[in-house]
Amino acid sequence: MSPGRRAALLSAVVAGLLLVLAGMTYAKASPLSRQASPKSQAISTPSSSRHGAADCALPGATGWTDEGHDTDRSVFQRPTGTIRAAMIFVDFPDAPATESPARDAAQVTPGADWVSQASYGKAWLAITQYRHWVRMPHNSTDYHFQRGFSHEAHEAYIRDAVAAADRGVDFSRYDLLYVMPTKNASAISFTPTYIYEPGTAGVVADGKRLKWSVTFGQDMWHWGPKLVGHETAHTFGLPDLYAFEAGDDAHRFVGGWDVMGLISGAGPQYFGWESWKLGWTADNQVACRASTGSDTVRLTAVEYGGGTKMAVIRTGPTSAYVVESRRAARSDTGLCATGALVYKVDSSVKTGEGPIRVMDARPATPPASGCRPLDDAPYQPGESFTDSGAGVRIDVLHADGNGDTVRVTKS
């Protein structure tokens, strides 16, 4: 996205935030989050009154992908229902394909089933594969794929791929485009996501503007099918949860707890907060504490679709603490530890700078063999998290195979 477009979006969001601060105490949840869901588990409220989930929804404040609930659906793709995707296969004059398209596609297409499971069946990627190679007009090295390359350069690559495949593909039928390069094109090194910049010419084929595309690179051979879950979720409006400034650990913010962080992490299920933002978790599955008081909440693990998915403690105009339950099931069968996972959300923090940060229950304990820092972050019965400055306390009272019971207190 160009600096001008980002500045315009940021100005609009900041203006909205000033209105919130001036009189509207809390932003409302996105309409996308108000969808039918299984009945929530009972919540007892020992003091004060319980709040509606909308009181804990946060406004976006970055002008791009963030953890706010007011996602601009004129820019980002709807994350529910059937999403029709075309997959085309490209090779290059300097890197002709020698393998079958099916071999390459098989590396990532199981990601459609993964997304369906992780979204509780709310999102389905219907991928149509056009299994023949089409030749790009330039050498692979001419596209200058590198981290940080421009939106315009990326768009030019997609435009060439679409033109090369247009004779055999009716692009008007699809919501999303996946571009698969031959494995021989080492210069197409990584997998960026393209999002159309409103007000520009963009890429048009068969009378339709192609607003969203994932262009796979050779890193797909490392990441595998869950790369589809990561990159496609950018078209839904989710930010990156790993650190752009890698330092000693690019995954210091959330570890392996969400596919938007470490794709190959032990717990790649989307955080409950993101599931709520995307409309996969409904308002009546969220326990909200937005003012002084305490709630005892029975949480069903986020890997399962029903029940109360999280308790949220609002701490400011763009910030909140969240506690959710994690179990080694479905998308998270490889967990190193289970329990009540606590994290802080700040929707004013930009993608790649830590909009979500996991709170580590045992920061001084080295991770077990095969695990990494933060993989053992969940809290267990009898343990508590406190942030005295924010007036937040979370006590884990009980656990079983399906979830955790917690008490959340705001003082």
Distances (CA, A) of 206 to 75, 109, 162, 163: 21, 25, 10, 10
Distance CA 397, CA 44 (A): 13
**Global confidence as pTM:** 0.88
Vertex 288 angle, CA 404 and 278, to 5°: 85
Distance CA 40, CA 33 (A): 15
Tell me if 133 sits within 8 A of 89, measured CB to CB. Answer: yes
Locate 296 and state its tokens: 């005892």
Side-chain-side CA neighbours of residue 221 (13 Å): 12
Q: How far is C-alpha 105 from the geometric centre of its chain's CA atoms?
A: 22
pLDDT tens per residue across all 411 residues of the chain: 444 444 433 333 333 332 222 222 222 222 223 233 333 344 554 544 558 999 999 999 999 999 999 999 999 999 999 999 999 999 999 999 999 999 999 999 999 999 999 999 999 999 999 999 999 999 999 999 987 889 999 999 999 999 999 999 999 999 999 999 999 999 999 999 999 999 999 999 999 999 999 999 999 999 999 999 999 999 999 999 999 999 999 999 999 999 999 999 999 999 999 999 999 999 999 999 999 999 999 999 999 999 999 999 999 999 999 999 999 999 999 999 999 999 999 999 999 999 999 999 999 999 999 999 999 999 999 999 999 999 999 999 999 999 999 999 999
